[in-house]
């Protein structure tokens, strides 16, 4: 079975799932009936998320929920295995509340807090919209659901089936990835298809990874450069969903197949699946970012992250890969100077991936 053909997504607030359609497609063709069933359920939930999103954007006056005092404000809800129609669910932890007994609640709360702190302390950004919007998360979405989503106004996390994936709150880079889709939608708002969509996915991966590296105070050499390593279950050989390095995150895995991400422009995917390869072709700029960070050494958020953050503010809804190349170079020149090591590292990295 195939997922529905590239739906016309509302590009202003695309619903973004962490698990790409090609993984769900592969799982839905498994010989194992249980794997097939959970994959199909996840695909149905993705379609439901898009429908919810479309309905919500049509509502007049829809806006981000402001937080009291316009500072860090988190709300975590439990949707108790309900679907999108039941969102957000029951409020179980608010800003400042003590820990819950439920690890998913605590991880959603602390992951949102770390992501907020990352943007605030490094870039002076006050939440996703820079106006202190409330960070809303719902946990226990669906039955053993193998996915996590950013719906355009909130995060929601499945529990995973316990075999291929475990609870989706467990990877801080997954939380940072989804919330960065919120930052993108409030800044350059890249259209979620083809190259602009791959750049949207790329920025979510870059800042998702940087949130984790920053929280762990990791140097570029210590960082694992993986997305979703902590949500992989015991029955898959995959080390993660994606990797920034030249390697593949998984190869000939019985459940997931082979990681399709290219790391060079000459291998760019040109088909229409996955909204024109948004989770596939993001591998090319991801690898370029990794090369910049490795060349500069130290901590990736300090220089490479700064160049990329400045770039995110300058891109537009229709930016393509060549605009990304140009804008990161401009940002490096503005921040560090034309002949700087940083400027040269950016130029070298893009050249290495085919630009």
Which spans of this chain sit near Zn ion (rule: CB under 5 A)? 16, 204
Of 73, 140, 279, 287, which residue is the catalytic one? Answer: 279
> Smallest gap, in angstroms, from Cβ of residue 3 to Zn ion?
15
User: How does DSSP assign 276-338, residue by residue?
Assistant: HHTTTTTHHHHHHHHHHHHHH-S-TTTTHHHHHHHHHHH--TT--HHHHHHHHHHHHHHHH-T
User: Is 204 or 324 the residue whose CB approaches Zn ion more closely?
Assistant: 204
User: Is 250 or 336 the residue whose CB approaches Zn ion more closely?
Assistant: 250
> Smallest gap, in angstroms, from Cβ of residue 10 to Zn ion?
15
Q: What is the CA 171 to chain-centroid distance, rounded?
A: 11
> Smallest gap, in angstroms, from Cβ of residue 204 to Zn ion?
5
Q: Give the residue closest to Zn ion by C-beta.
A: 16
> Smallest gap, in angstroms, from Cβ of residue 345 to Zn ion?
26
Q: Where are the alpha helices (DSSP H) in 124-186?
A: 172-185
Q: Is 326 a catalytic residue?
A: no
Reduce the DSSP state of residue 204 to 3 states and report it: helix
Helix (H) or strand (E) holding 214: helix 194-215
Q: Is 279 a catalytic residue?
A: yes
Given CA atoms 190, 172, 17, 23 in this order, what sign does their dihedral have?
positive
User: Is 309 or 343 the residue whose CB approaches Zn ion more closely?
Assistant: 309
Region for 83 from its dihedrals, namely left if φ exceeds 0, alpha if ψ lies in -120 to 50, beta otherwise = beta
User: Is 274 or 342 the residue whose CB approaches Zn ion more closely?
Assistant: 274
Region for 223 from its dihedrals, namely left if φ exceeds 0, alpha if ψ lies in -120 to 50, beta otherwise = beta
Residue ranges of E strands in 95-134:
none
Of 41, 107, 178, 295, which residue is the catalytic one? Answer: 178
As annotated, the active-site residues are: 178, 279
């Amino acid at each position: 079975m195939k997922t529905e053909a590239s739906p016309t997504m509302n590009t202003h607030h695309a619903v973004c799932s962490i698990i790409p359609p090609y993984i769900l497609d592969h799982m839905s063709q498994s010989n194992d009936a249980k794997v097939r069933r959970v994959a199909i359920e996840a695909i149905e939930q993705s379609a439901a998320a898009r429908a919810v999103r479309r309905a919500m954007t049509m509502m007049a006056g829809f806006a981000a929920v402001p937080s009291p005092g316009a500072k860090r404000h988190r709300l975590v809800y439990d949707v108790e295995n309900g679907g999108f129609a039941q969102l957000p669910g029951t409020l179980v932890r608010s800003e400042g509340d003590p820990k819950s007994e439920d690890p998913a609640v605590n991880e959603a709360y602390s992951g949102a807090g770390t992501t907020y702190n990352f943007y605030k302390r490094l870039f002076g950004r006050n939440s996703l919209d820079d106006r202190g919007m409330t960070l809303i998360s719902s946990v226990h979405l669906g039955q053993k659901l193998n996915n996590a989503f950013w719906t355009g106004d909130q995060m929601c996390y499945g529990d995973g089936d316990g075999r291929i994936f475990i609870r989706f709150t467990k990877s801080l880079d997954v939380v940072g990835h989804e919330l960065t889709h919120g930052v993108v939608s409030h800044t350059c708002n890249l259209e979620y298809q083809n190259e602009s969509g791959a750049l949207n996915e790329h920025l979510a991966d870059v800042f998702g990874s940087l949130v984790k590296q920053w929280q762990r105070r990791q140097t570029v050499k210590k960082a694992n450069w993986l997305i979703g390593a902590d949500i992989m279950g015991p029955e898959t050989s995959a080390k993660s969903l994606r990797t920034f390095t030249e390697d593949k995150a998984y190869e000939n895995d019985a459940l997931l197949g082979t990681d399709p991400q290219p790391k060079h422009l000459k291998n760019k995917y040109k088909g229409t699946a996955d909204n024109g390869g948004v989770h596939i072709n993001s591998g090319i700029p991801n690898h370029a970012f990794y090369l910049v960070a490795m060349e500069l050494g130290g901590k990736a958020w300090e220089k490479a992250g700064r160049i990329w953050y400045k770039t995110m503010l300058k891109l537009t809804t229709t930016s393509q890969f060549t605009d990304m190349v140009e804008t990161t170079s401009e940002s490096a020149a503005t921040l560090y100077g034309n002949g700087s090591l940083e400027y040269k590292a950016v130029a070298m990295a893009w050249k290495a991936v085919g630009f």
